[in-house]
Amino acid sequence: MKVLPGSAIGMLGGGQLGRMFTIAARTMGYDVIVLDPDTESPAGQLANRHICADYNDTKALDTIANHCDVVTTEFENIPASSLEHLAATVPVRPGSQAVTITQDRIHEKNFLREQNIPTAPFAVIKSADDLDKAIADISTPSILKVSRFGYDGKGQHSINSADDAKQAWQTVQQEACVLEQRVSLDMELSVVLARTIDGQVNCYPLAENIHQQGILDVSIVPARVDESLHQQVIDIATRIAEKLDYIGVMAVEFFVADGKLLVNEIAPRPHNSGHYSLDACVTSQFEQQVRAVCGLSLGETRLLSPVVMVNMLGDLWHNGEAPDWQQLLEHTNVKLHLYGKQQARAGRKMGHYNVVDDNIEHALMLASEIQTALNRAP
């Protein structure tokens, strides 16, 4: 059954991804009810209703279920039990099984291994003995990653020796982890795709990504790769979505190491590296999320122009003062997106901008010039 404009969509999570989804959904004529514990939720500011409650609050979940025609999620750390509770009353897309796999690195890595999808060598760590054995088998350099609630480089520790491993194990308080071999990267890629209830899949153009301290810094679209590698990315990502029986928008992050593709992570939601689609594609990833979870036909994902997306972190807000936006807005081919967050903190994603240009190298050059200008303290 299609959920048409005039209906209500529930959104679990109220950060910037939820905000951009809310804008897309309301533009299309839907009501949006956001459940998020943050009183200053960026999505809640723009939703028809913001329920400020914990994701485990059954009363709040029942309100969502009773007032919405379909429910979706903003990020992967929504408790699976909450999704299951909702699913007894209202369609939830993506479903709890797909989210359960992708919200836990151990489940995710094992799922990829079972599907014979290549990843960097890894080992599951649940004890100090597991870690000692894995260091011997995988060797160093490697990375210890907490299995749950790690993102943007959080919960990750570089391991160059056995002493590093012992210290990291204490730092994560002996929480279940994955030890992953550090591979020599040629580049990092990602692809955003959407899958419908009946299995239709549409992929967006590949993004070539540059990270700083574990946080996405710049996405270059189209990625500067050959057609063979491009098709491999599409084929693997599509296969993952099908095996997860995924409904909605998702992203798959890849490493390219010695010319070979390795899957890094699966994100069961719109993705930071897909923000370029807001200004450079026929259909943004957020409109696509509305279409997919509402059972509609997927929108066209064609790239209208080469584009470079740049993240803006709270580090740009010097002494609480916002950057000099004139440095950005004087350029007529640059699009600014701010997330409505009240407090700027180092490492916090506050917004992004897209530089659209017929020449990708020109776009990259201008993006870098703006980045340098904004980084200058007033």
The enclosing domain of 228 has a CATH number of: 3.30.470.20
Q: Are residues 331 and 253 in the same domain?
A: yes
Q: Which residues contact 369 (CB under 8 A, 6 or more apart)?
A: none
Q: Are residues 260 and 208 in the same domain?
A: yes
Q: Which two tokens stand for residue 262?
A: 């390795």
Identify whether 107 is part of a domain. no
Terminal Cα distance for the chain, rounded: 54
Mean pLDDT of 62-90: 95
* Helix pair 80-87, 58-67: axis angle to 10 deg: 40
Mean pLDDT of 291-313: 98
The phi-psi region of residue 94 (left if phi > 0; otherwise alpha if psi is between -120 and 50; otherwise beta) is beta
Pairing type for strands 248-257 and 31-35 reads unpaired
Q: How many residues does this entry show for the chain? A: 378
Q: Are residues 261 and 343 in the same domain?
A: yes
Q: Are residues 199 and 346 in the same domain?
A: yes
Angle at 225 between CA 221 and CA 229, to 5 degrees: 120
Residue % of the chain over a pLDDT of 90:
81
Q: Which sign, positive or negative, has the C-alpha torsion 216, 222, 223, 228?
A: positive
pTM for the whole structure: 0.94
Q: Are residues 166 and 202 in the same domain?
A: no
- The CA distance from 53 to 61, in Å, is 9
Identify whether 100 is part of a domain. no
Q: What are the φ/ψ torsions at residue 165 (nearest 5 degrees)?
A: -65, -45
Pairing type for strands 31-35 and 49-51 reads parallel
Q: Are residues 214 and 299 in the same domain?
A: yes
Give pLDDT tens digits for 307-349: 999 999 999 998 878 999 999 999 999 999 999 998 999 999 9
Q: Are residues 276 and 323 in the same domain?
A: yes
pLDDT at position 138, please? 83
Give pLDDT tens digits for 241-285: 999 999 999 999 999 999 999 999 999 999 999 999 999 999 999
Nearest one of 48, 35, 137 to 90, comparing CA atoms: 35
Of the three residues 166, 181, 196, the one that is the final residue of a domain is 181
pLDDT at position 324, please? 93
Domain that holds residue 159: 121-181
Give pLDDT tens digits for 99-108: 999 999 999 9
Q: Are residues 318 and 277 in the same domain?
A: yes
pLDDT at position 107, please? 94
pLDDT at position 266, please? 97
Identify whether 365 is part of a domain. yes
Q: Are residues 146 and 214 in the same domain?
A: no
Q: Are residues 212 and 175 in the same domain?
A: no
Q: Which two tokens stand for residue 32?
A: 């949006």
Q: Are residues 247 and 331 in the same domain?
A: yes
pLDDT interval class at 173 (50, 70, 90): confident
- Reported as type and span, the H/E element at residue 254 is strand 248-257
CATH of the domain at 23: 3.40.50.20
Identify whether 14 is part of a domain. yes
Question: How many domains does the chain contain in total?
Answer: 3
Q: Are residues 259 and 138 in the same domain?
A: no
Give pLDDT tens digits for 33-45: 999 999 999 999 9
Angle at 365 between CA 213 and CA 356, to 5 degrees: 100
